[in-house]
Amino acid sequence: MLLSSIVCLTLTISAIVMILASFLAKKTIADREKNSPYECGFDPKNSARLPFSLRFFLIAVIFMIFDVEITLILPIAYILEITNIFSWSLVGTLFIMILLFGLYYEWKEGALEWA
């Protein structure tokens, strides 16, 4: 009984805070200058859609892949204490070898060359 009343009170207070925040956060003054894009005080002359660098995109994708893979590698050190060391060592070594092969392939293909 006490738990359900605490949950109801918490939900009610949260709803009231969210409703108040939505009313107080709205900007009522909207004019042309505030709704236009800001570029160092000048009006934009060209389209905001500029050609996108494919090299930058490839480097960003490679960075994201290695970033995710690091999050997969880090728990291996913790899991080694709990489980079979041989199986996790084999899986970890295979995973790192695949990563190194992919890095070598990207380096050989020139995807890491910026210029």
* Spatial contact of 70 and 96, defined as CB atoms under 8 Å apart: no
Per-residue model confidence as pLDDT tens digits over 61-89: 888 888 888 888 888 777 777 888 788 88
Angle, helix 54-79 to helix 85-109, in steps of 10 degrees: 170
Alpha-carbon separation of residue 58 from 43, 50, 61 (angstroms)? 32, 17, 5
Cβ-based neighbour number of residue 12 at 10 Å: 10
Looking at per-residue pLDDT, the higher value among 12 and 71 belongs to 12
Per-residue model confidence as pLDDT tens digits over 31-60: 666 666 665 655 556 665 667 777 788 788
pTM value is 0.45
